[in-house]
Structure 1
């Protein structure tokens, strides 16, 4: 029945500024009106809705105002440089400063490499790549560089 996630939504304070930001990430506008814009993540398969609203002041929590975009492993390895070239700073996450990212999340029995940044309204964005799935092994969070060494 369920084939995937089609849409996710974030609040934004200035739709025009947010449109420019998400275009820098390489996303294509699928639909736009005065206070709403949808960007294709995978055309015809998934999109991100941005809603201009005062609700953007809702305090951040991982269950609110967070989107993770899946990328390939080779892309996560160059993600920090790619973001910096676009003028988008990497943020500290899980006490790992930008210079220690991407980091490896020990979501046992899975492991994922991830890097974190914010959009103009402080919504939490993540680029994430699976490293391994369904493999039971306990380990501590580490840098991706440590993972490969």
Structure 2
């Protein structure tokens, strides 16, 4: 099921300084806001999230150790059952209960389907599948099943 590492997150003390550092390494900036930036490591396959450490009220604070594994869209559809067969519990994410996952995240520059869980040490883990859709229109985070219904 797991095809590779999709994303990793790092806390940084100065986002602007870190952006320049990672640009200097040759990474392409994919997204930037006031508290977080994402760099493509391998375009549309893996990226690095940089979170300014003092932004403790962000929904994805960098103190949460987090990585995401890339999976295919067909696999994300059955990921909940796959995890449960391995005695791994899906965790609440962004206010969505485990029963309402996988989710569709309207991340720019592309949307993703994702499901969240933890390792034995409480590290935040995610299975994520990029969605090939037009993300120019804004939409809210929703359940993957709901997204498919709207798509029809």
Q: One fold, TM greater than 0.5?
A: yes
Equivalent-residue separation in structure 2 for 1:63 and 1:137 (angstroms): 31
Residue aligning to 1:114: 114
Match of 2:77 in 1: 77
Q: By how many angstroms is 1:77 displaced?
A: 0.3
Q: In the TM superposition, what is the alpha-carbon distance from 1:135 to its structure 2 partner?
A: 3.3
| Closer/same/farther in 2, CA of residues 62 and 96 from structure 1, 3 Å limit | farther
CA contact (8 A) 2:111 2:132 kept: yes
Call closer, same or farther: CA 1:96–1:62 in 2, change over 3 Å: farther
1:67 aligns with 2:67: yes
Taking the aligned partners of 1:140 and 1:68, their CA distance within structure 2 comes to 21
User: Cα gap change, 1:91/1:64 in structure 2, threshold over 3 Å: closer, same or farther?
Assistant: closer
Report the TM-score when normalising by structure 1. 0.57
**Superposition CA RMSD, Å:** 2.6
Alignment match, 1:142: 142
Alpha-carbon distance, 1:110 to partner: 1.3
- Structure 1 residue runs of 4 or more that deviate by more than 3 Å after TM superposition: 60-64
Whether 2:91 is the aligned partner of 1:102: answer: no
Unpaired runs of at least 5, structure 2? 10-59
Aligned length: 95
CA contact (8 A) 2:71 2:128 kept: yes
Where do 1:6-45 residues align within 5 Å?
none
Please give the alpha-carbon distance, in whole angstroms, between the structure 1 residues aligned to 2:61 and 2:109. 24
Given the alignment of the two structures, is residue 125 of structure 1 paired with residue 111 of structure 2, yes or no?
A: no
Partner of 2:14: none
By how many angstroms is 1:63 displaced? Answer: 5.9
